[in-house]
Amino acid sequence: MAGPPTPQQPVSLHVDRIRCDGYGMCAELLPELIELDDWGYPIVRPGAVPDELLDHAVRAVDVCPLLALHLRAVTASRAA
């Protein structure tokens, strides 16, 4: 069933700051890319998520109780 390997499109993490309520679970699961400020809100390292951290990033997105963390494709305009 597996098709030919397609090159992974680079993705980056984005926090919806209106929704985020500082539960901090994302930083627990992905400390490589997310740290918490003094009030417990996430600071995300900008740029594309490295391939080896992709599974962890997906899990961090999944665990957010407020659906405030997203993975988005890195577009040319954003990357610039």
Partner 1 sequence: MNDQILWFATRGAGVVSLLLFTAVVCLGILTVARWQSPSWPRFLSRELHRNLALLSVAFLAVHIVTAVADPFTSLGITAALVPFASSYRPVWVGLGVIALDLLLAIVVTSLVRNAMGQRAWRTVHWLAYAAWPLTLLHGVGSGTDSWALWMLPTQAACVLAVAVAVAWRFAADRSNRSQLASVVDGGSRGGA
The residues that touch partner 1, with contacts defined as CB under 8 A, are 19, 23-25, 28-29, 63, 65-67
> In terms of CB distance, is 19 or 78 closer to partner 1?
19
Q: With the C-alpha atoms ordered 50, 24, 46, 76, is the resulting torsion angle positive or negative?
A: positive
User: Between 28 and 79, whose beta carbon lies closer to partner 1?
Assistant: 28
Whole-angstrom distance between the N-terminal and C-terminal Cα of the chain? 37
Q: How far is the CB of 6 from partner 1 (least distance, A)?
A: 24
Q: Which CB atom, from 47 or from 62, has the smaller least distance to partner 1?
A: 62
Cα 72 from Cα 60, distance rounded (Å): 14
